[in-house]
Amino acid sequence: MTLAFIKQINEYVIDSIIEASDEEILACVGSDGYPSQQDIYQARTVITQAIKEQRQLRLSQQRAAFQAYKQEQEVAQNAPPKRTIPEMLSDIVAAMQNQDKVPEGVILAFREQGQGGSENDIVEIWQNLVELGLIDPNDTDT
Amino acid sequence: MNTMDTSTATHYNEIEVQDLVDNLKNADVTRSLQVYRTLGCAARSGLSEHDVFAHVVVEALSLKRRWPRDLKAISFFIKTGKSIISNEEEKYSRLMVTPSVDELLTIDDEMLKPTSATAKFSHASAETIIEHAQSDNIISIWIQKIQQLFEDDPQADCFIKQKLEEQKKSRILVLCEFTDQLYRNVEKRVKDKVRKRFPNGLPWWEVES
């Protein structure tokens, strides 16, 4: 019962510490029972160091995320197309037939490139048309 | 809308917290350290006031403890510090009473005899009775010291006596013939005077059974 009273007294002490003005609190620094200037300096050092470490951590996380993004992009660019050769041929034909969008010179160039007709040529033409935006690699309707 | 958007509406974001912590006033640093000490951080949790302060800073910056926008810096530091001390106190007390496997293996017969902890199931040991008597004695001395502080202040003296009797504010107003304003004034006088006399509070944790 009386212990509760002692705990209440401590709560009063805490309230008084919080409610005292800044000037009053700073005037107590270094006096008996209060933190010293050295204590404040030590706490400030903790803040500076913690902020520095947090910023470094955030920077390294951002770098790692960017690196992962770059790698993902590279993998996506180098990955073999998910279309079969006949599907690619179909895409190429559809793109070539779209006279309104494809400049004349480009059609001629691809006709010459496709003379050999090997699978590698077809893949290369398909990828070039994708890069030019004339084929949507994600369009699986065709 | 994602959860991050929702929480940054009510809580400070990472950059804002960095700014708030970086600009913490020296007066608030002093208050925080003083309050952690008054809470008995070292004895209760094994953490010094500087350890608690560092925990609060790190947990605020990492957003482990979210800082509500409507909470002042000193309130955040005290609330979070109290929570950290309380959590650590729990771990600390488990650490103090849980024997390791090695300790259990090397236990001898003498140690298996009833201790003061197990003896209380039958009857109190002499050791326990002495401890209780000592605790009561210490608490009585503290109470005397507090009462002496207000010997020359009849209003505060009445306030303290009624608080000791665990009277509620409504009863104290009647018994001490206080108005609401006077109650607040007396309470403020009591708070300030006990802080000046006991800047680190009273170590109740040393006598808690």
Let me know: does A134 contact A101? Beta carbons within 8 Å.
yes
- Confidence check: pLDDT of A96 > 50: yes
Q: Quote the CA–CA distance of B60 and B201 in Å, as a whole number.
A: 27
Instruction: Search chain B and give the residue with CA nearest A21.
Output: B27
Cα–Cα distance for residue pair B202/A2, rounded to 1 Å: 13
Give the lowest-confidence range in A55-59, A96-100, A129-133.
A96-100
The answer to whether the beta carbons of residues B157 and B147 sit under 8 Å apart is yes
- The conformation of residue A20, written as its DSSP 8-state character, comes to S
Task: Collect all residues with Cβ–Cβ distance below 8 Å to A48 and sequence separation of at least 6.
Answer: B22
pLDDT at A107 over 80: no
Tell me which of B1 and A17 has the higher pLDDT. Answer: A17
Predicted pLDDT at A95 = 84
* pLDDT score at B16: 96
If you count residue pairs, one on A and one on B, with CB atoms under 8 Å apart, how many are there?
134
pLDDT at B2: 46
Nearest to B50 among A15, A26, A43 (CB): A43
Facing residue for B61 by CB, picked from A7, A26, A50: A50
CB-based contacts of A9, cutoff 8 Å, min separation 6: B142, B146, B194, B198, B201, B202
User: What chain A residue is nearest to B208 in terms of C-alpha separation?
Assistant: A3
Local confidence pLDDT in tens for the 209 residues of chain B: 444 555 888 999 999 999 999 999 999 999 999 999 999 999 999 999 999 999 999 999 999 999 999 999 999 999 999 999 999 998 887 777 666 666 655 555 555 555 555 544 556 666 666 777 778 889 999 999 999 999 999 999 999 999 999 999 999 999 999 999 999 999 999 999 999 999 999 999 988 75
pLDDT at B1: 41
B11 DSSP β-pair partners: B68
User: What is the ipTM score, two decimals?
Assistant: 0.81
Residues of B in contact with A42 (CB under 8 A): 50
Q: How far apart are CA B193 and CA B185, in angstroms?
A: 12
Residue B91 burial (10 A CB sphere; 0-12, 13-18, 19+): exposed
Residues of chain B positioned with their CB less than 8 A from the CB of A32? 199
In chain A the first and final C-alpha atoms are separated, in Å, by 84
Structural tokens at position A46: 């903790």
Query: Which of A2, A13, A46 would best serve as a mutation to test chain B binding (most B beta carbons within 10 A)?
Result: A13
pLDDT of residue B107: 54
Residues B96, A84: Cα–Cα separation, whole Å: 69
Q: Name, of A1-10, A32-41, A89-98, the range with top average pLDDT.
A: A32-41
Higher pLDDT, residue A63 or B131: A63
pLDDT of residue A74: 80
